[in-house]
Amino acid sequence: MDQSRAPVLEALTAYRRRGDLSFTPPGHKQGRGVDPRVLEVLGEDLFRDDVMILNGLDDRLQTKGVLEEAQQLMAEAVNAEQAFFSTCGSSLSIKSAMLSVAGPGEKLLVARNAHKSVISALILSGVEPVWVHGDWDGDLHMSYPPTPEAVEEAFKAAPDAKGVIVASPVDYGTCGDLEGINEVCRRYDRTFIVDEAWGAHLPFHEDLPTWGMDAGADLCVTSVHKMGNGLEQSSVFHLQGNRVDPAVLKAREDLLGTTSPSTLIYAALDGWRRQMAEHGKDLLDRTLELAESVRREIDKMHGLWVMSKENTRAFDTDPLKIVVDVSGLGVDGYHAADWVRERCHVNLSLSDHRRVSAEITVADSEETVGVLLDALRALSSARDLPPAATIDVPEPGELELDIAMLPRDAFFGRVEIVPTGQAVGRIVAEMVTPYPPGAPALCPGERITEPVLSYLTTGLEGGMNIPDVSDPSLKTLRVVAE
C-alpha cells in the first residue's frame, strides 16, 4: 500500500473543498453555533474539522472506505494483519481484546501489575483472573513484567486458561520478554495479548524494545496519544494470526465503543501513521540521541539517578522513558513533581514514593529537553524540599493477595461500608488504584491484608493520588457484605 496516503485527512480536505452543508450532528455545524468566547480559546479550525465519517467524510453506506483504508495502512505500517482505530482510548481497546479471548466463567492469565482497565474488563466480563506476578525488586520497590517462566507456571496451574495478558512496556519503561512469553503461549496453544499502551512508537526503530506483533503476539493494544502524535483518547488495537476471530473482536469493540467517534482523533491517527511510515526512523534517531543526552546530564546531578536496563533487573527498557530516582535528595516523588511544577512550570509524568518520570518523544528538541534539565538541576540543588513522606511500601510477596471471589461478583454484589481499620480480612468490592501508574493495589474479590492497607493509607498521607476509591479520605472501604 502507498504509505504516503492519509485517507481520513484526504477526505477531510475534499469535504472542505466541496463546501458541503450538513444537517447532521455535530450540532455546532462546523463551529457556526459556537460561543465566540469558546472559539477564542479553542480556535475555529477545531470545530470546522469536527465532521462525521458517516454522511460526512464518507457517504451513507461508507462505500468510499475512508476509515477501512486508513486502518489497513496502519496495519501494514506496523507489521500487523489488521488494525482497528479507537477513539475511547486503550481502556476500551483492552476491554475489547480481553472480551474476544475469554467469556463469563472462563479463565485468563493476568499480570497482576495490570492497568485498571484490565481489571474493569474482568468486572464487565465475569472472567476469572489467574494472577501472574511480576519479578519484585526489593531494592527499588517496584515490579517488573512477568517472566516467561512465571507465565508457564501459571498455565500449568490453570491449563484451562484461554490466554494471557501482559503489559509491556509498563509506566516505568520496563519491558518483558515478549518473545519468550509468546513461545510459552505457542506451546500451550493459547492467546497472547500485549497491553502495549506505552509502545506505539516501538515498531518504527530497531533500537527500541521488541514490538509485540514482531514478538508473535496475537493482539496488541497501543495508545498513540502517549508516545506518538495522536490526540488524547487515540488508540489502535492490532491483530494477527487465527486465534482471535476479527469479526468477534469488532463485535466486542462495537459493544463497548461509541457510535459517535471523533473524526479529529481519526485524522490525527492517520497523519501520525503516515509521518512515522515515511520519517519515523530519522525522527526516532534524533529522539534517541536527545534522550541519551538527557540521561548523561541527569547522571551528573546531585541526588538523582536514571533507571536503565543496566542498573535494574528489567529484561529491557524503553530509553525514551526517563525515570528518575529522587530519593537521594531526601524527598519523595510526589512532592518532587509538585515542586518542579510550581517552581519551574514543568509537568512531569509518573510520580511515586521515590521516582518521577518524563517521556521524550519525537516532539522534543534541544530547547525542550534543556528546560527539563534546568528544572531537574534546580530540584537537585533546592534547599526547601519537604522531607520524604514515610510510606509503608510492602515487602516482596505482600502485594500478592488471595482471590476470594470473582471480581464481577464482588463489584456488583451486596456490599457494606466499613472503617478501613476494620477491613483487614474482608473481601474488597471496589478498585483502589494509585495513579499513576494505574495498577490497582486492591482489586474487587481480593482479601484485604494489613500491609496493603498500610501502604495505601500512608501513601495517601504522603501525597499518593487514589482517584477511584469511593471514599477519597480512605477512612472507609466498600467490602462484600457478610
Per residue in 321-368, pLDDT (tens digit) is 999 999 999 999 999 999 999 999 999 999 999 999 999 999 999 999
| pLDDT in the model for residue 138 | 83
Of 270, 280, 279, 361, which is closest to residue 74 (Cα–Cα)? Answer: 270
Sequence-distant (≥ 6) Cβ neighbours of residue 370 within 8 angstroms: none
Q: What pLDDT was estimated at residue 63? A: 93
Q: Which of 65, 85, 54, 12 is nearest to 273 (CA)?
A: 85
Q: What is the DSSP string of 227-263?
A: HSSPPTT-EEEEE-SSSS-HHHHHHHHHHHS-SS--H
Helices and strands: H and E segment counts in the chain? 16, 16
Tell me the C-alpha distance between 155 and 132, whole Å: 10
Q: Grid cell 540543588 — which residue?
A: 381
Digit-coded pLDDT (tens) for 149-198:
999 999 999 999 999 999 999 999 999 999 999 999 999 999 999 999 99
Per-residue pLDDT, 481: 97
pLDDT of residue 398: 84
Predicted pLDDT of residue 88: 87
Cα–Cα distance between 464 and 412 in angstroms, integer? 27
Nearest of 267, 261, 275, 274 to residue 89 by alpha carbon? 261
pTM: 0.95
Instruction: Please tell me whether the peptide bond between 26 and the residue prior to it is cis, using omega within 30 degrees of 0.
Output: yes
User: Which residues in the chain come in under a pLDDT of 70?
Assistant: none
**352 CB burial (10 A radius; 0-12, 13-18, 19+):** buried
H or E segment to which residue 357 belongs: strand 355-359
